[in-house]
Structure 1
């Protein structure tokens, strides 16, 4: 299994961006299949490394084909390759994510578009006591790598049932509880990139452990499993 990202995939994705159509992809199908196999080998190797830190149920490589049924963008293919590493068991929440694309590579992790009960549970926890999550977010290495939650998707004032005057409204307003870290093309193509990626994934563990405890208990701290 490969420990490096296939550099040729970067060039392929650049060309795909300029030729995003089925005819071009069909003409380059063999190249795509070879590169996809190499990328999946990198993902499998990364999953093995992650399993020395955590327990990973599976590594899911997302399809390159786009679902264009409800999108104004009818380009048939994604111009990135991405994978999600799902943690094993209902007691372990959160997932690790990596996206590779020329000029837009990043890793991340957390809780993206959580289901309504989970979203409410997280918000209620932050309303009750946000000190633990703030401690995690402010931890020097974590803060340097991620600089807080991704805040691109928030409610404008306060979610229903919460006060906009709540001292933790900056956290409660989030619809996602997700952090990410960008990599340069040079970093992704470096021989030690997998190690760099694992280091950043490892930073997520205290965050995942805390959020798993929140999502597997009620507000009294009693298990709901």
Structure 2
């Protein structure tokens, strides 16, 4: 579970997203950061029981800085108003698919997969989906997967309008071949974030997503 204080800090940051306020309240940030890293350590331990490479990770390998990169953004607020962790073999900059938890008051979610891979990696995944369509279809149409995630995310920003030119438009996997990211997302309510059952809830969601992640990573190996 995460502390109510962690969500409270993020709510206050949403209303005071400036360096002066942040510097005055750095102790609150340090407390929230430690709280989140403690959760990430528990998640690493849990996932690592079945995935040895993940068991070697530390929270710092998975968590993201709270400072925003504002160099090319019209939004010049200096801080993210969320805390996120990408738990994946090789750490958060890995090319492999992994597990993600996003903590943001009113907008928290759990999930994972492969977000915006480079063209070479995306090509491999698409080929695997095409070659092993029956297997992939059985994974994303699994009753448990659909009950938790519904489907892989089809955000218009990360989906092609047409099937990639290497594939026929009538390909049975067409709707998945259009995806530029292959991720599953499931919303988490604030009262679940601060519940003692949080680790189990996230663990169940990760277990449900694991066949998708294993399929993607097999294509990248």
Structure 1 length as normaliser, TM-score? 0.88
**Greater Cα shift, 65-74 or 196-205:** 196-205
Structure 1 residue aligned with 2:13, among 1, 16, 39?
16
Structure 1 residue aligned with 2:217, among 190, 203, 212?
212
CA distance in 1, matches of 2:130, 2:45: 37
CA distance in 1, matches of 2:212, 2:162: 26
Larger radius of gyration: 1
Q: Is the 8 A contact 2:6 2:35 kept in 1?
A: no
Q: Is the 8 A contact 1:109 1:204 kept in 2?
A: yes
CA distance in 2, matches of 1:116, 1:46: 30
Q: Which residue of 1 aligns with 2:115?
A: 112
Q: By how many angstroms is 1:204 displaced?
A: 2.0
Q: Flag as ranges the 4+ runs of structure 1 deviating above 3 A.
A: none
Q: Which residue of 1 aligns with 2:187?
A: 182
Q: Does 1:44 align with 2:6?
A: no
Which consecutive unaligned segments of at least 5 residues does structure 1 have? 217-225
Pairing of 1:95-174 with structure 2 (within 5 A): 95-152=98-155, 153-174=158-179
Q: By how many angstroms is 1:77 displaced?
A: 0.5
Q: By how many angstroms is 1:88 displaced?
A: 5.4
Q: How many aligned residue pairs are there?
A: 211
Q: Does 1:94 align with 2:97?
A: yes
Q: Is the 8 A contact 1:53 1:202 kept in 2?
A: no
